Structure 1
Amino acid sequence: MQVQNLASSDHWDRVKTELRNELGEDIFSNWFGRVKHEETVGDSVRLSVPTRFLKNWIQNNYEKKLIGLWKRELDDINRVELTVRGALRPRQISPAQPPKAITARRISGRSAPFDIAPQFGSSASSATIPCLADTGEEAAAEFLSGAALNPKLTFDAFAEGASNSLACAAIRQMAAGHEGTLGMLYMHSTTGIGKTHLLQAAATEARKAGRRVAYLSAEFFMYHLVPALRTPAFPVLRQAMKSIDLLLVDDLQFLHGKQAHEEFGKTLEMLMEAPKQIIMAADRAPEELGTLSTKVMQRIQTGEVVSIQSTDYALRHEILRKRIASARRTHPAFTVPDEVADYIARYVISSARDLEGALNRLFAHNQLTKQPVTMNLAEKTLHDLVRIGEPRSIKVEEIQQVVCKHFSVTKADLLSSCRARTLVRPRQIAMYIAKVVTGRSLPEIGRRFGNRDHTTVLHAVRKIEDMVTKDETLAQEVELLKRLINT
């Protein structure tokens, strides 16, 4: 039996690899990061998870996939059984001691948000339910443990550069809990730039310092926390929420649906009842989400909003250096010539995620074929990732940020209706550049500039077009801005 289970552990490692490849690292970490293989007996595989919710979710959504992947490893597997590690046994209740009960009214101080059927002989008008203390404790423990963390995503492994230094410094201070640090930080950038890495690094560092931390991905929030708020676990869970020192919410843009946003607003308001630190991350600025409540927006505005810019060459080179050093710790023979690292840093420019993907391809090829990494290999293997001579996709937000910095105005001023000369010219230049370099329609550009009419954008474009033909200084200034945007 021991030999079989040792072999099955190898099978489980391969099953996990397939799951990670099919689902992606984020989804895999959320749902399978804490799953353990317990044993394989006959035609059945037994896996364990830390919470009942995780067990139910995997059974409902991934059971068939798990069985299919296991059958690839062992033909006779027909069943995957999920158990909860350390599950509490039901309490034995003495006949002389009736079950402790609470009324629906006590759950939240108002009518319960769910239907309660009469139990234990009570009438419908005074419906009660058993006090599910174990369920409440489990929900609280699950909230505090949060979504699974990737142990590789630490501050030491994070490559810091000009584009992310402000966000990195602020988050490091908040994780350490230094006195006088920010209470709220909202971080936004395009995907694959490092937001999740920073949040998970902060969660790990804060826990090491003995702080109570909750790291919630949007998926975890919607499928773990919101359902728990509608159960008898609510009072215990609310106390747990009040007790945390640092809340981290990732991928805020994925909180879809009116109900999810209402629940998020209520949750955030609960966390605001005591001094707390909150870090949130999304792929766009808070005002562009369009679904945050007034109270949530006010809370965000009391803190700091930080934008992480696209990686430049120096930062891409530093990311590669750290990833190569990490790979060499376990595979000392793996080397990447300087010219190959330079090639990747210069031409794989979409995101930090693509940089890692490029390096992973070279590493896999090296390990499978035992051939050294060369320029010829890099050019053949990475042809679909490189962007030689191709203009990268530029967002209107990037243009606005560069123009605001150049003219020393705020984005709020740029999008406002103010007609001051000091704002009109930067606004017109930003609209003109947006039309020239993004190819977006006039109505779409107008929406990105405070919901202006397309005729306003057209007037700005024609105005700047005319001015740059007559004013050499302005023409040079506009070209400089274009170069800064394309950097």
Structure 2
Amino acid sequence: MDTTINNPNKKINVHDRWAKVSKNLRIQIGDDLYNSWFARMEVHSIENGTLTLSLPTLFLKSWIKSRYSEKLAEVWKQEIPEINHVELRVRNHGEKIKNSASDNDSSFPGIQNAAILENNDDSSLMNTSSPLDRRYTFNNYVVGRSNALAHAAAMRVSQPQKSIPVEFNPLYIHGPVGTGKTHLLNAIAWESKARHPDRKILFLSAVRFMSSFVEAVKSKDTISFKKVFADVDLLLIDDMQFLQGKSVQQEFCHIFNALDTSKHQIVIAGDSAPSKLEMLDDRMRSRLSGGLVAQIGPTDFDIRRGILEKKLAQTLRGNTRIEISPSVLDFLARRIQSSGRELEGAMNRIIAAHSLNKRPITVEEAALSIQDLISEEQNRQIMIEDVLRTISGHFNVTKQDILSSRRHKTIVYPRQIGMYLAKVLTTRSLPEIGRKFGGRDHTTVLHAVRKIEKLINTDPSIKESIETLGNSLKE
């Protein structure tokens, strides 16, 4: 392939100019961005004023083309005015790749040895906080009104047809803890692999993505990190609500956009709708909302009953002597309404009690075994907005004052109580609470929490007042 330009005065070798162009590009966009995305770019050919640059993966090509096509043309034209246009292509596997990490790089085993389902072995699927579980398949997922849409969508993305384009990307599944989101992600992975053995699937928790990216930055080897995602056909991310940090979210957004542009399926699960993920920036929330958002509601009686029946059937395969009457299953399904995990835990308690005391499993015995579970009230999920509204009404201050930078004691005290209640009554992190309370730092929230805790321990009237506020939020 020709990489020279015939100039009336001299013959220009484009390869010789690449070092200077890459240096200028690095200066303009910064070392981190250059090393992450451009370090493995090479000159392929030039013909009729069109320069073709090659990259090792479609992932890199799509990302650079969508963001830096004009910048590439500009820096090359500054060096060689005869270049009119810059094209990008993906290198063939046989072509030499210069200045790239080894294909066998294992700097990030947390991802590379995670749930990348390869053809040869799916027994070592995962080493993350959300390992793939063979029990979680579509066959044992209980479908009801509250999860029918999420189940149908999960089935659809696990059975792609080459002739049909990706229908919704991403598929975002959200719902309370214990409603089967992780079960569906696992089921998608297993079903997809069974139908398409050559499909490359990556399943990660958001926490593992975050920690691996931080590790990559610290070791100055983000290229190896990105390589993991380059050829993924199906990316599944669990617990999206834990993806925090501006640089981490930017990196995830880059990967998300590249996979989406390449028409590779993305499935994400979180505890809240994209619009409610307070830790994410507006751009990321918008991208997550751009496909199909499928909500899983709280489990109803029929779903809970179905979960118990499947759990019982699984138990009976290992011990046929256990007998649990339908009335006991009905009792559990009515009294344990929090999550599928709690239901299975309750069933395990009852079976363990039966095996130890040898008494028949009756409704009365079942009630004794799970007395602590059924005595707990099922509190509704409390949001930070609820806390702000309650504090505003109780102390007769506006929400705008609470979120403002004003430091008058009539505002600071209610604000600190609000931060304390948000910490103890919601699942939100200190940084999230700070952002919702006027964009404050997490250390400000921590200071407020500690101050209110001290007041509670030293002043009975303040303790009673705060308990009253807390109880009103729980009602």
| TM-score with structure 2 setting the length | 0.54
Percent of paired sites with the same residue: 30
Checking the alignment, whether the CA contact within 8 Å between 2:354 and 2:360 is kept in structure 1 is yes
Asked if the contact 2:169/2:260 (under 8 Å) is kept, the reply is no
Match of 2:275 among 245, 267, 287: 287
Equivalent residue for 1:159, pick from 138, 142, 156: 142
Q: Show the counterpart of 2:339.
A: 351
Q: 1: distance between equivalents of 2:281 and 2:104?
A: 33
Counterpart in 1 of 2:174? 188
Q: Is the contact made by 1:144 and 1:212 (CA closer than 8 Å) also made in structure 2?
A: no
Match of 1:111 in 2: 31
* Equivalent-residue separation in structure 1 for 2:344 and 2:115 (angstroms): 30
Change (3 A) 1:357 1:440: farther
- Cα deviation code 1:357-408 (max 9, x no counterpart): 1001112223334433222210111111125xx86323478xxxxxxxxxxx
Q: 1:135 aligns with which of 84, 100, 105?
A: 105
Q: Does 1:260 align with 2:209?
A: no
Q: 1:207 to 1:255 in 2, by over 3 A?
A: same
Opposite residue 311 of structure 2, the aligned amino acid is R
Question: Using the alignment, how far apart are the partners of 1:289 and 1:329 within structure 2?
Answer: 41
2:390 alignment partner in structure 1? 441
Which residue in 1 is equivalent to 2:5?
Answer: none
Q: Report if the CA contact (8 A) 1:252-1:282 is conserved.
A: yes
Distance 1:160 1:269, change over 3 A: same
Pairwise CA distance, 1:270: 3.1
Partner in structure 2 of residue 207 of structure 1: 193
Cα deviation, 1:21-67, whole Å, max 9, x if unaligned, reads xxxxxxxxxxxxxxxxxxxxxxxxxxxxxxxxxxxxxxxxxxxxxxx
Q: State how many pairs are aligned.
A: 294
Contact (CA 8 Å) 2:235, 2:266: kept in 1 or not? Answer: yes
The 1:138/1:300 distance shift into structure 2, 3 A limit, reads closer
Q: How does 1:309-324 map to 2 (within 5 A)?
A: 309-324=297-312
Distance 1:312 1:263, change over 3 A: same
| 8 Å CA contact 1:107, 1:234 repeated in 2 | no
CA distance in 2, matches of 1:329, 1:291: 44
The alignment partner of 1:318 has SS state of: helix
SS, match of residue 272 in structure 1: helix
Deviations 1:254-302 (A, max 9, x none): 1233333233223323323411111111111111112323442332232
- How far, CA to CA, are the matches of 1:107 and 1:161 in structure 2? 54
> 8 Å contact 1:143–1:225 — kept in the other structure?
no
TM-score, structure 1 normalization: 0.53
User: What residue in structure 1 maps to residue 446 of structure 2?
Assistant: none
Q: CA RMSD in A?
A: 3.7
Q: Which amino acid is the alignment partner of residue 364 of structure 1? A: A
Q: Distance in 1 between matches of 2:265 and 2:274?
A: 18
State the AA in 2 paired with 1:193: T
For residues 301 and 400 of structure 2, the distance between their equivalents in structure 1, rounded to whole angstroms, comes to 36
Higher relative contact order, structure no. (Cα contacts within 8 Å, ≥ 6 residues apart): 2
CA distance in 1, matches of 2:338, 2:115: 35
Code of the residue aligned with 2:369 in structure 1: it is T
Contact 1:349–1:386 under 8 Å retained in 2: no
2:172 partner amino acid = Y
The one-letter code of the counterpart of 1:291 is M
| Segment drifting more, 342-351 vs 105-114 | 105-114
Partners of 1:440 and 1:293 in 2: CA distance: 24
Gap regions ≥5 residues in structure 1: 1-103, 116-127, 398-430, 446-450, 455-487
